[in-house]
Structure 1
Amino acid sequence: MLKAVILIGGPLKGTRFRPLSLDIPKPLFPVAGLPMIQHHIEACVSVPNLKEILILGYYPASELTQFVAAMVQEYKINIRYLQEFMALGTAGGIYHFRDQIRLGSPEAFFILNGDVCADFPLVEMLEFHQQKGNKPLMTMLTTEATRQQSVHFGCIVQDRDTHEVTHYVEKPSTFVSTLINCGVYLCSLELFHTIATVFNARQQEYYNDGAGNGKEVIQLERDVLMPLAGTGRLFAMPTNNWWSQIKTAGAAIYANRHYLELYRSHSKERLVERGPAAGDGSKCSIIGDVHIHPTASVHHTATLGPNVSIGSNASIGPGVRIRESIVLSGASIANHSLILHSIVGRLSSVGQWSRVEGTPCDPNPNKPFAKMDNYSLFNSDGRLNPSITILGCSVTVPPEVILLNSIVLPYKELTRSFKNEIIL
């Protein structure tokens, strides 16, 4: 029997994801038509003998109750949300709820960071972990980054033959390795003994010296992985599958593109059939991969794609062109408007003949992931970098205006065009 733990953090995190996280918890932000962590759940459900999924974080339970109930109903698997009493760190929450994870004596359990998006190779990880016998305490998923990108992640040095991790550094100040940590792990229950050692040392320091107030905050990367490297108990499984993180809204556009591409192989029913508009007015013109929620209304003269997601109850008018964008639930795009490289927030409206446009900031699209999440929002002189355009919740864009490379906070009613601005 196996379990999975999804770490989602809490409302104090994800500030770089604003304004999109102001009206919805970041883990529930829809990417390719599904809440972000539903992609994690789908990957876990595909693993044989995985019986329970635990979601750990410090969001108020009321914000996830409906989502969890819907997931249990859809996937027929036991899913629970366990709320931390404070931010306990990536390993602190796991240790705090150790009895819940160990309940039923699972053979092993997965840990998935909630801000990771990927073609998760969980079944392959399980096979890799089992092939090592009783040696591994933990197997981590790894991928290759460029030399410049690697310092933004946990960097791994491994034995090329055995894949044993001999050295690990979290976000090093200088180059260590191009092999990086993907934030996906498979762990034996013995891991709790290792975390307990860290926890007890923290408690001792606190009561002896009164140092700090984070005696229960434990970071998996710094407090567990770094000391574990070189002991013969930590292994790295490389993958060539697509992988990225969602730290900023720009990364959501990138993740949307790749999840839509993955639908082609395992969920074709979520994509609209490609091709020109139907003569009977039943279908608009579709280019590339496009997801349209069944409740959305799209005029047959509109053209969507590639890489577009349209949310529930959205309305797309005649002659509208949308490309590389996410339109969230209840949004309306009026006649002959253009939406490029943008996210249109919930219940927002774009007037007719308007142009909402961002600039793609994918510095290396040929890599298995792109560092859009570390792409700085501002230049060194303080000006806004070219990026996607984001409309927060309930934003009104009037007819015949241009909104270029700008971020609009919720409940704003614009009166003119903007370029490279944040509208507060």
Structure 2
Amino acid sequence: MPKDRITITLEKELLKKLDTLVDGRDIRSRSHAIERALFSHLEEGKVKQALILAGGEGTRLRPFTYEIPKPLIPIKGKPMLEHIINHLLAYGVKNFILSVGYMSEKIISHFGDGKKLGVHIDYVIEKERLGTAGPLRLAKDLLEEDFLMLNGDILSRVNITEFFAHHQKMNGLGTIVLVAVNDPSKYGTVDLYGNKIMKFVEKPKKSKVVSNLVNGGIYLLKSDIIDYVPKKGFSMIEKDVFPKLAQEEKLYGYIYTGPWYDLGTIESYGQAIKNWS
């Protein structure tokens, strides 16, 4: 977003408090701390709610997930889901919906109502496997007009402020964080026209890859997207919803180039333990 340089005068004690927010990662400088503090107190132009998918069995992380649900697996001493919540909280997101299923009681016991993290948490419980789109039906009555939706096994430093501003500017039903990967044949690649997503190519052969941009598992969505979710049973937002939106030219991309870890495998989990800070 375009920025203007200004000069302000603040009390020393207030500056000291602002300086305690600077960690060199989520908040990089004093001016960044001031910007974040102002943003957290401005309601207009801020996304306030996130739906996090945390109900999977984590089969690719076995044997760890035989005894512990994937969202509680630790990274640097904290559950991976706690890292996600803390990152969003730094951008003013304080209302969370966790879609849980596998070992849901352990997740609910750990996070409770969210007060210990400074947030509010509601839960929707998947009594059967619903995929990545089905939980939207369960959360329908809790969702606001614009909300974040995230896979509960993705770690990133996406600037939520800039992401939301981009989403509002595009004025579609959904905006997807897109990341570049070395081997897109392991994922579904995205065909872009400007910022508009035209189509998805599911796990293309290396010789037919036309883009190295893949779905980053982080979305901004309007609540109307629920109308595109199948009424019953298991469904995937990547296969059953997003292609329809792309066909109707209502889906956009936001290219992100910072740290990004898909913690769905033992290999990527090891990389995050080594490199995440």
User: What TM-score do the two structures reach when normalised by structure 2?
Assistant: 0.77
Q: How far did residue 169 of structure 1 move?
A: 2.6
- The one of 54, 57, 60 equivalent to 1:8 is 54
Distance 1:235 1:10 in 2: 26
Q: How far did residue 189 of structure 1 move?
A: 1.2
Matches within 5 A, 1:297-336: none
Q: How far did residue 153 of structure 1 move?
A: 1.4
- The one of 201, 216, 225 equivalent to 2:242 is 225
Structure 1 residue identity aligned to 2:115:
Q
- Which residue does the alignment assign to 2:189? 155
Q: Deviations over 1:168-209 (max 9, x none)?
A: 1333354242111101000011111222xx33xxxxxxxxxx
Contact 2:124–2:138 (CA<8 Å) still a contact in 1?
A: no
Distance 1:75 1:120 in 2: 20
Matches within 5 A, 1:31-46: 31-46=75-90
Q: Secondary structure at the match of 2:223?
A: coil
Distance 2:176 2:80 in 1: 21
Higher relative contact order (CA 8 A, sep 6+): 2
User: Are residues 1:178 and 2:212 paired?
Assistant: yes
Q: How far did residue 223 of structure 1 move?
A: 0.4
**Residue segments in structure 2 that go unaligned for 5+ positions in a row:** 1-46
Q: Secondary structure at the match of 2:186?
A: coil
Contact 1:5–1:55 (CA<8 Å) still a contact in 2?
A: yes
Distance 1:249 1:131 in 2: 38
- Which residue does the alignment assign to 2:133? 91
Distance 1:51 1:189 in 2: 18
Distance 1:96 1:111 in 2: 14
Structure 1 residue identity aligned to 2:127:
F
Structure 2 residue identity aligned to 1:169:
V
Matches within 5 A, 1:16-165: 16-48=60-92, 50-69=93-112, 72-101=114-143, 106-132=144-170, 135-146=171-182, 149-160=183-194, 163-165=195-197
The alignment-based identity, stated in percent, is 28
User: Are residues 1:242 and 2:274 paired?
Assistant: no
- Which residue does the alignment assign to 1:411? none
- The one of 173, 183, 200 equivalent to 1:168 is 200
Distance 2:153 2:227 in 1: 27
Contact 2:200–2:243 (CA<8 Å) still a contact in 1?
A: yes
Structure 2 residue identity aligned to 1:138:
G
Q: How far did residue 121 of structure 1 move?
A: 2.5
Q: Secondary structure at the match of 2:269?
A: helix
**Residue segments in structure 1 that go unaligned for 5+ positions in a row:** 200-214, 261-424
Q: Deviations over 1:300-335 (max 9, x none)?
A: xxxxxxxxxxxxxxxxxxxxxxxxxxxxxxxxxxxx
Contact 2:101–2:128 (CA<8 Å) still a contact in 1?
A: yes
Looking at CA atoms only, which structure, 1 or 2, has the larger radius of gyration? 1
User: What TM-score do the two structures reach when normalised by structure 1?
Assistant: 0.51
Distance 2:271 2:119 in 1: 30
Distance 1:179 1:248 in 2: 20
Q: How far did residue 17 of structure 1 move?
A: 0.7
Matches within 5 A, 1:337-356: none
Q: How far did residue 97 of structure 1 move?
A: 2.3
Distance 1:170 1:55 in 2: 27
Q: Deviations over 1:124-178 (max 9, x none)?
A: 211111222xx310000001123xx102112111113xx0111113333542421
Distance 1:189 1:110 in 2: 10
After the TM superposition, list the runs of 4 or more consecutive aligned residues in structure 1 that deviate by more than 6 angstroms: none
Distance 2:128 2:202 in 1: 23
Structure 1 residue identity aligned to 2:107:
L
Q: Secondary structure at the match of 2:133?
A: helix
Q: How many residues are treated as equivalent by the alignment?
A: 229
Q: How far did residue 259 of structure 1 move?
A: 2.0
Q: Deviations over 1:341-396 (max 9, x none)?
A: xxxxxxxxxxxxxxxxxxxxxxxxxxxxxxxxxxxxxxxxxxxxxxxxxxxxxxxx
Q: Secondary structure at the match of 1:151?
A: helix
Structure 2 residue identity aligned to 1:117:
L
Q: Secondary structure at the match of 1:59?
A: coil
Distance change (3 Å), C-alpha of 1:60 and 1:24: closer
- Which residue does the alignment assign to 1:189? 223
Distance 1:119 1:257 in 2: 16
Distance 2:212 2:56 in 1: 30
Distance 2:108 2:177 in 1: 30
Contact 2:124–2:135 (CA<8 Å) still a contact in 1?
A: no
Q: Secondary structure at the match of 1:218?
A: coil
Q: Secondary structure at the match of 2:258?
A: coil
Higher helix share: 2
